[in-house]
Amino acid sequence: MYLPRNLISLLYNNLIRYRNSKSLRVLILVALEPDALCACRILTSLFKRDNVLHHIVPIAGYGDLARIGENEIQRMRNEGEGGTVICLGVGGLVDLGDILGLDPPSTIEKEKNGIEVWVIDARRPWNLGNVFGGSPPEDSLPEISGNARKRAVQVDFGEIKHGYRSGRGGVMVFDDGDIGRELEAEREAYFKLEQMPEIDDNGEDLDDSDSESEVLETGRKRKSLSDDENDDSEYGGSDEPPTRKRRSNSGGSIPSSPHRPARGGLLIAQGSIVPDSFQSRSQSPRIQSSPRQDKPLSARKNRLRLLNMKRKHESVLHKYYSLGVTYSEPISSLMYSLMSDLGRENNSALWNAIVGVSSLELYGRAITGINPPPSESNPFTGWGGDRAERIKQVLRDEVRRLNPPDPKDSNGEAARGHSSGILQTTANSPTDTSIRLSPEPRVLLVRHWSLHDSMMHSPYLAARLHLWSDQGQRRLDKLLAKMGFSRKQCNQNYTHMDMELKRSLRQSFLKYAPMYNLDALAPPVPVNGRGREGWGFVRSWGWSGCFSAVDVAVVIGAMLEVGKSASLTRKATNSSTQADEIAEEEAITEGDQYVERFWDAYDALHDIDVLKAALEPTMDLHRAIHRTGTAIFKDHQLRHLRAFRIAVVKGGKDLHLFNHPGALTKLALWVGEAIAEQEKDKGGRSTPLVMAALNERRGIYTIVGTGGRGLDFGYQEKEKDERAKLRKKKQDEKRVAREKRREEKRALKAAKRSSQNRDDWDEEDEEDETEVEDSSSESDSDREDDAPRRNRFGNSFQEVVEETNARVRIESFDHCVVEVKKDDLGIFLEALSSKSVMS
């Protein structure tokens, strides 16, 4: 089921209203990423205010999710009181009813309460079984009288209505607006397939006893899309429609996910890292009709119609799943919308939402998947084109509303930069915790680093100035010299720089940066108080410090990836000491490390001292990214394959840092953006990139695939609407022409009936149905031409696993991140090179 955006507070109000807080079990599953962490902070602040007992569980991957299903979910079921499981950044791509081990409806109907699962995730495509299935069983009303009032509809074709009552279980997806606006075709196809009778698509004909009425009966039978699917298969390939018959915990029929992981995580089978069972999937075979004399003509004709309808609806779902993993509105923004609907907005929640939104760009999460930033269109729109800028504009309005300027301190406010554009580095008072708008330049941790280092380690500057080369570093020095900044001033901490230089920094950027192809280095100056597009956010913690939202997102991300202690990011060169450190690390499982890092990052969101303590390891991580990226270019480690480029990191003192998928993704985006700028200078178009890093202790390679830049994923909404109108016009013209041809054929059939037998005009019906299917594919083709190219590495990775014996584990919620056994890297890359990694 899915909850429309305008009813986002419905489930929360039901949770508070209909449950006893003393017995309520609320389990919050949080992905290890800044956006989910910020959303968790917002939600838990609501729970604390309403005295809702809750338990937070960090989730590193599908293995953790399956263990939660086996342990916590089963405990909640055995207690019989039900409960609520809230998934923040977890499980949007998979069949949660299956992986969490939720009960079939026959068992739940016997219990007083069910287990509700709230799914709040920015990843797409949705598992349609979660979105349109997962409905709880309907309660049977006692017959009081003949004129008893009819109960209001609570769930209408998967959509939760205003009168919905909680407590009976089910999977509920929070819609950010995309489901109701963009998934009408998928919704229709899903329910059409669900309502179709069971029919095999394997060439077998219907029984002679099947009458036409029986064939056309569309009771609420569950339609299995493929009988070849193994119930134990994992994931199955994200480019295929749901193919297994499964029931949710609450009575609704839902298909399994094409991304479903194994129940116990991704296990080691036959000495290799593989899912429980990767089985190849194929489209349903074409019909091989039996001789007509073996069946009544009406039954054969209706069977043909049903199979054509089946293929048509399956193709809609197939196309949806084959788009690849993309990203929609950040879930921290969605949680702030919930708080806004409840009328409980405050600065802390607003700041968490701002940090969560700001973090999306650090990991390249865009509406076309994980890709470097766009090179064209508006450089300030960020991860989601105009939609991202609209969300940021709403946050800017909220900042102005909740943080009005103090009229008694107008001069001080102007001096600190809110009006003049100077970067704010101090608070207005010892108790000042306000949020302000700030014209943040695209440099890294500028308030906490030297100006030279912050510019040197900025991915934006590194790509455009070619800072991996000596010539590029001289270009940076020349830019600073033109701006009038001495090397001595640039090498000291920014807060200690000359005040006049800090006042002139922004104007110098705007004047000299365009000479070096750095037009987006600083946001433009507003005219008459308007035009603050591209402006960032900054918050003060009294005299303790001042951080921008991007800086906080950078630090929180680094804490999740390498920890808060600088010692964790450095490896001793002494072999005996290094061996002792590795032995100590082996004593602590990776899961324990991730949990510890999660709670440190959770505290850092509201504790300025913890945040400042993590600055040094954050800087170490970005120094390592710069060193490793520079080595890749200087040592010519990039290799060209047919569909993408590949870079493998096998050694160096920073190798251990890139065992974490988040850190490796940042390195891949750094390299990918640099490649894009190089090819842009040559008039070319950047290709996708595969980055692999060796984990020596585990004997595996961690691999991430990013799409090439130069993609139009910052396309304007106006252009999108125009293309949609043109596409609709073409479809209408085709539909009119199709109806005209059908009328002509009907007239022709009527004329032939008197002189030809039944078989002749049955053949024409077959041609007519085939024409409908063909026209649908033409419409889909038009739709594909209008869509921007997307990152399909997740789909391609799973296709390789199905076709080869490579030992692969897909554990990350981002399916473009995989782990491959060290000895199988060559096999994996060779098979991957023949795949389509962009769609």
Looking at residue 624, its amino acid is: A
Q: What is the pLDDT of residue 330?
A: 93
Cα 719 to Cα 708: distance, rounded to the nearest angstrom: 22
Looking at residue 250, its amino acid is: S
Q: To which H or E segment does residue 58 belong?
A: strand 54-59
If you average pLDDT over residues 7-23, what whole number do you get? 79
Cα 650 to Cα 26: distance, rounded to the nearest angstrom: 44
If you average pLDDT over residues 634-658, what whole number do you get? 90
Cα 362 to Cα 356: distance, rounded to the nearest angstrom: 11
Query: Of 534, 536, 533, which is closest to residue 550 (Cα–Cα)?
Result: 536
Burial (0-12, 13-18, 19+ Cβ within 10 Å), 389: middle
pLDDT of residue 579 exceeding 50:
no
Under 8 Å between Cβ of 329 and 791? no
Q: What is the pLDDT of residue 188?
A: 92
Record: fold of 2-138+152-203+211-291:
Rossmann fold (3.40.50)
Q: Domain extents for the chain?
A: 2-138+152-203+211-291, 441-522, 717-786
Identify the residue with better confidence: 768 or 639. Answer: 639
pLDDT of residue 771 exceeding 50:
no
* β-pair partners for 540: 546
Query: Of 21, 69, 23, which is closest to residue 47 (Cα–Cα)?
Result: 21
Could you report the per-residue pLDDT of 349-360, keeping only the tens digit for each? Answer: 999 999 999 998
Mean pLDDT of the chain: 76
pLDDT band at 772 (very low <50, low <70, confident <90, very high): very low
Q: What angle do CA 519, 520, 523 make, to 5 degrees?
A: 115
Q: What is the three-class DSSP state of 820?
A: strand
Could you report the per-residue pLDDT of 663-674, keeping only the tens digit for each? Answer: 999 999 999 999
Q: How many CB atoms lie within 10 A of CB 390?
A: 13
3-state secondary structure 694-734: EECCCCEEEEEEECCCCCCCCCCHHHHHHHHHHHHHHHHHH
- Among 59-73, 248-262, 547-561, 584-598, name the one with the lowest average pLDDT: 248-262
pLDDT of residue 685 exceeding 70:
no
3-state secondary structure 410-440: HHHHHHCCCCCCCCCCCCCCCCCCCEEEECC
Could you report the per-residue pLDDT of 68-100, keeping only the tens digit for each? Answer: 988 888 888 777 677 899 999 998 998 998 888
Query: Of 800, 495, 413, 486, which is closest to residue 641 (Cα–Cα)?
Result: 800
DSSP for 171-222 reads EEEEP-SHHHHH-HHHHHHHHHHHHSPP---SSPPPPTT--HHHHH---SPP
Cα 371 to Cα 708: distance, rounded to the nearest angstrom: 6
Q: Which two tokens stand for residue 631?
A: 């080595």
CB-based contacts of 151-157 (< 8 A; 24+ apart in sequence): 155/1, 157/132, 157/187, 157/191
Q: What is the pTM of this model?
A: 0.79
Q: Which two tokens stand for residue 509?
A: 């950027």
If you average pLDDT over residues 405-429, what whole number do you get? 65
Could you report the per-residue pLDDT of 254-292, keeping only the tens digit for each? Answer: 233 344 333 333 333 233 333 333 333 333 333 333 444
Identify the residue with better confidence: 527 or 831. Answer: 831
Burial (0-12, 13-18, 19+ Cβ within 10 Å), 33: buried
pLDDT of residue 528 exceeding 70:
no
Compute the chain's Rg from CA coordinates.
29
Could you report the per-residue pLDDT of 146-193, keeping only the tens digit for each? Answer: 444 444 568 888 889 888 887 778 899 999 888 988 899 999 999 999
3-state secondary structure 320-354: HHCCCCEECCCHHHHHHHHHHHCCCCCHHHHHHHH
